[in-house]
Amino acid sequence: MSELLAVFVIATLGYLIGRITICGIDLGTAAVLLVALVFGHFGITTPALVRDIGLVCFVTAVGFIAGPKFFRNFKQNAKSYVLLGFIIILVGALSCAAIIMLAKLPTALGVGLMTGALTSTPGLAAAIEASGNDPMASIGYGIA
């Protein structure tokens, strides 16, 4: 299967599976990530450019939606937000390091779990890049 065709098959299957509702629960767009993980397990790859463009589009969309409100609120409570952000990152990183050491998890999996728990897609991209494209980072993100 060509890499470009794989992108469209993953997106289509993920969309269709995400629309299935069982007992009032559906996976929504998360189904696309899960389908991509299954395809990746079987060695089907997509172009790195698609991943990078997808990340840029996601971060841009979040910025457009949250940006104006964020800056309005940030002006009023800047010190509190900076402190809270620092604490969240510090506690997350220390927890991640402790769990990796205690449970003897692969580092990429542990960092993927942390980025998923913090819903940090840019963090996932950094984890994938730092781990040399280790798929365990994506798996950890999907699990969390």
Segments making up each domain of the chain, as ranges: 1-46, 49-144
DSSP string, 38-107: HHHHTT----HHHHHHHHHHHHHHHHHHHHHHHHHHHHHHHHHHHHHHHHHHHHHHHHHHHHHHHHT--H
Indicate the range of 59-68, 104-113, 135-144 predicted with least confidence.
59-68
pLDDT of residue 87: 95
Summarize pLDDT for 79-99 with one digit per residue, the tens: 998 999 999 989 989 999 999
How far, in Å, CA of 87 to CA of 94, rounded?
A: 10
Angle CA(140)–CA(143)–CA(144) in degrees, nearest 5?
90
**CA nearest 51: which of 110, 11, 18?**
11
135: left (phi over 0), alpha (psi -120 to 50) or beta: alpha
Decide if 142 contacts 33 (C-beta within 8 A).
Answer: yes
Query: Residue 77 — pLDDT band, cuts 50, 70, 90?
Result: confident
pLDDT of residue 108: 92
